[in-house]
Amino acid sequence: MAGTPSAPATATRSAGPARTTRLPALVPEPVELPAHLAELRAEVRAFLDAERAAGAWTPRADVWLSGWDAGFSRRLGERGWLGMTIPTRYGGHGRSALERYVVTEELLAAGAPVAAHWIADRQIGPSLLRHGTEEQRQAFLPGIARGEVFFGIGMSEPDSGSDLASVRTRAERVDGGWELSGTKVWTSGAHLAHAFFALVRTAPVDEGNRHAGLSQLLVELDRPGVEIRPIPLLTGAHHFNEVRFDRVFIPDERVFGEIGDGWAQVTGELAFERSGPERFLSTYPLLAALVGELTAGTGTDAGTRRRIGSLVSRLWTLRSMSLAVAGALESGEAPELAAALVKDLGTRFENEIVDAARLLVDVPPDPGAPDGFARLLADAVLHAPGFTLRGGTNEVLRGIVARGMGLR
């Protein structure tokens, strides 16, 4: 198993085991989902089947970016499938991270419209529990668990990309709070969300420590001075936004965590953000549709079966890895290296599905099709560039992996 023992590594010819390089654990130990979760999984599947049968939505690719449906989120909230790991005193359900994992992977595999609540449920809830004040928890967690309060992510900025320490949005100390000026970009769903956490500079840049002087503020997006402008995707669809702050007042009670701790708070959350099932299931509905096309066809040759088999073997492996990281997170570890590995492999896999679908079924992608293979293929092709960008580019992740292996 990765990381338990070390292997010999010789730097020169046949130097023997005395000169060894000990690799860190690259992936946590396997996790087996407790048997009682089969019941929960069956409930979720029955709910999703009923929704689809009623025509409430049709499966889409990349639903956690593009599938915004506030009504669907509310229905999930009514079932107790949002805020699952939030304690009951805050309106949550006090369930385990693995129970939440089962629900989320079922939603993604079904291509259900989860974008509205995704960020709030995945990372804002856990962050509020870790760093938020009691008042902030009371104010936001019950609405998140009901599927009525939606959040965005206010990290990236023009020119910052994956280099988050370069953010320039500034908060100046004023009486009773902070005054915010600057611009955030790529904020998914800001035009529909209620709030986001903004990563901002509360002290001038220290070139010796670029990570110092950063803080997080909880910004309600209806505050005076907040301007939200759409940045249409290449599809023309509106998911991204630019959010400008012109001297926006943020009261002290909306400071999130500690002033100056923004970097540690943000990076501590990345293992949750990078290793979840959304990092390899964005195009799963297309894979299922591809299997449907091939099953309906005139039989399959060995090459096709092997290509499908390779994709499914990879999917099974990625899920095992992602579950192992989830298990480690549940037991209080922060497997940043393993999470980066999952995201790199998983997001490349999402693209492999697109290529296989294109090449195994000779049907042009059709963005105008109401549903089915041609529509899913079109969605997936047009969304694919984002898979290996969001949450830190794969190139930056490889730097993290290299550092984790002692190369830098």
Does the protein bind another protein through residue 316 (CB under 8 A)?
yes
Does the protein bind another protein through residue 88 (CB under 8 A)?
no
* Site size with another protein, rule: CB under 8 A: 72
Residues 319 to 378 in contact with another protein, rule: CB under 8 A = 319-321, 324, 338, 341, 344-345
Are the beta carbons of 73 and 82 closer than 8 angstroms? Answer: yes
Does the protein bind another protein through residue 52 (CB under 8 A)?
no
Minimum CB separation of residue 14 from another protein in Å reads 5
Instruction: Determine the Cα–Cα distance for residues 297 and 299; give it in Å rounded to an integer.
Output: 6
Does the protein bind another protein through residue 2 (CB under 8 A)?
yes
Are the beta carbons of 290 and 362 closer than 8 angstroms? Answer: no
Does the protein bind another protein through residue 230 (CB under 8 A)?
no
Q: At a CB cut-off of 8 Å and minimum separation 6, what does 389 contact? A: none
Instruction: Determine the Cα–Cα distance for residues 315 and 49; give it in Å rounded to an integer.
Output: 23
Which of 212, 264, 291, 361 is the binder for another protein (CB under 8 A)? 291
Minimum CB separation of residue 353 from another protein in Å reads 12
Which one is catalytic: 106, 269, 273, 350?
Answer: 273
Instruction: Determine the Cα–Cα distance for residues 231 and 247; give it in Å rounded to an integer.
Output: 22
- CB closer to another protein out of 142 and 404: 404
Instruction: Determine the Cα–Cα distance for residues 102 and 245; give it in Å rounded to an integer.
Output: 38
- CB closer to another protein out of 236 and 408: 408
Site string for another protein, 21-40 (x = CB under 8 A): xxx--xx-xx-x--------
Residues 144 to 183 in contact with another protein, rule: CB under 8 A = none
Minimum CB separation of residue 55 from another protein in Å reads 17
For residue 382, CA distances in Å to 42, 62, 257, 366 come to 32, 10, 38, 11
Question: Active-site residue 273, yes or no?
Answer: yes
Which of 56, 228, 308, 369 is the binder for another protein (CB under 8 A)? 308
Minimum CB separation of residue 362 from another protein in Å reads 18
- CB closer to another protein out of 14 and 54: 14
Q: At a CB cut-off of 8 Å and minimum separation 6, what does 53 contact? A: none
Are the beta carbons of 101 and 326 closer than 8 angstroms? Answer: yes
Which of 313, 331, 359, 363 is the binder for another protein (CB under 8 A)? 313
Q: In degrees to the nearest 10, what's the CA dihedral of 213, 264, 167, 351?
A: 170
Which of 314, 330, 334, 371 is the binder for another protein (CB under 8 A)? 314
Instruction: Determine the Cα–Cα distance for residues 389 and 347; give it in Å rounded to an integer.
Output: 9
Copy the structure tokens of residue 340: 């980066």
Instruction: Determine the Cα–Cα distance for residues 220 and 197; give it in Å rounded to an integer.
Output: 9
Q: Which residues are catalytic?
A: 273
